[in-house]
Amino acid sequence: MPTASFKEELLGEIKNLRAFAVSLSGSVSLADDLVQEALLRAWSNSDKFQPGTSLRAWLFTILRNLYYSNYRKHAREVQDSDGFYARRLAVSGDQESHLDLEDFRQVLRRLPAEQREVLMLIGASGLSYEEAAKVCEVGIGTIKSRLSRARSKLVELLGRDEARDRPAERKIRRGYPRSFSLRRASTRQNGSNG
Amino acid sequence: MKAIRKKTNAAPGLAPPDPRALEAIGRALEAHYADLVQAPLPQKLVELLARLEAGDSASEVQGNGDANG
């Protein structure tokens, strides 16, 4: 049985685990299956977790292994029929800012999975290079080069999408900060409902 | 040229990204992630957690899940 402190820490990581799963698989329903299975595995293998190391990285490793061994082959078909996950997750009433985040997600999904996961691990989940290397079972140099490729590719794709109207850089500067209003927008909406 | 490429760790075949673009991407990634993290957990996961916390072993919970689904 897991210790009380393990349980408590695990509960605190579930939303991060789910966010990583959605980003990795590109599908909410797939992500929820993945999280469920990863949680069960973590729970019954809690004695294998080394206290003092990152529980987040440990959980991500479990989930990632599950994804690549069992789920990846289904990912493409599910992604296509699932609808875009942002529409199912976001409750923003602010359509304009929603679109900016949506644009970004569309582009994110066009990256190879190995680049997308490194972006998520380091750029969003706050893992160190060492932890990300461990999660992905590659060297730190590989992590750094994937991260660099991923960022360059994002800049390129965002630029190409917007090339018809205006330079990518302006689009990025103009559009992205607005996606920060998402959380406020959803809070407002919740507030007015209650 | 080779030395520069190595030093900046730039991906081959792609122009070195504008620092402002990189910064914007960093913020967009954070916003994307924050939006996912703040989404409520689905009922399925809430129930799973409740069962685990109630003291069922993972194998029992897994078994029940299979039988129901």
In this complex, the residue of A11, A101, A119 whose CB is nearest that of residue B35 is: A101
Chain B residues inside the 8 Å CB shell of A153: 11, 14
Residue B39 lies in a domain: yes
Residue B2 lies in a domain: no
Q: How confident is the model at residue A93 (pLDDT cuts 50, 70, 90)?
A: very low
**Closest C-alpha among A56, A43, A55 to residue A16:** A56
Residue B14 lies in a domain: no
Note the pLDDT tens digit of each residue in B11-27.
555 556 778 888 888 88
Q: pTM for the full model?
A: 0.73
Q: How confident is the model at residue A14 (pLDDT cuts 50, 70, 90)?
A: very high
Q: Which domain holds residue B35?
A: 19-62
Residue B36 lies in a domain: yes
Domain tally, chain B: 1
Residue B40 lies in a domain: yes
Report the pLDDT value the prediction gives residue B60, as an integer from 0 to 100: 66
Note the pLDDT tens digit of each residue in A121-145.
999 999 999 999 999 999 999 999 9
Residue B1 lies in a domain: no
Compute the nearest-CA separation of B21 from chain A (Å). Answer: 6
Residue B49 lies in a domain: yes
Report the pLDDT value the prediction gives residue A28, as an integer from 0 to 100: 86
> Using the beta-carbon criterion (under 8 Å), do A155 and B18 form an inter-chain contact?
yes
Tell me which chain B residue has its CA closest to the CA of residue A154: B25
Compute the nearest-CA separation of A99 from chain B (Å). Answer: 12
How large is the average pLDDT for residues B28-49?
Answer: 91
Residue B27 lies in a domain: yes
